Amino acid sequence: MIRRRVGRIAVVAVVLAAGGVLVTGALQDTLTYYRTPGEVLDDPDAGRRPTRLGGEVVPGSVRRSGDLVTFRLGGDGHEITVTQRGMPPETFREGQGAIVEGRLSATGVFESDRVVVQHGNEYGPSPGPLAPEAGGAR
């Protein structure tokens, strides 16, 4: 009786371990890591997996050729060339923070599928005709 119970527990443990390995393997393919240009340049193999690369668009580096946009993304003294098919968002500008999603190619160029522009997170009322005057009461 005890041998039978130990055998069942062993089978259940093997099945759970195999399931854990399968789930972990499936999640590895769907994970996207956030990295800086320096981290991608230090470990190019890591950049060849789906990656979110964050940094500042280097001023004077944006070039447009048809639907291909090429620019450099920098941070912490490192820069990496990024290519993007299609137009980036309207708020995309030189000197502004951006996050691109894609992979590092064998040539060392980061090929982006998507560009997300970072912007300030300070919100407030815009000065307009309805804004109260300083020092005055209505």
Binding site feature residues for heme = 119, 123
DSSP bridge partners of 2: none
Distance CA 12, CA 56 (A): 51
DSSP bridge partners of 81: 72
CA-angle at 137, arms to 135 and 138, nearest 5°? 145
Spatial CA neighbour of 56 closest among 35, 75, 36:
75
Q: Which residues are annotated as a binding site?
A: 119, 123
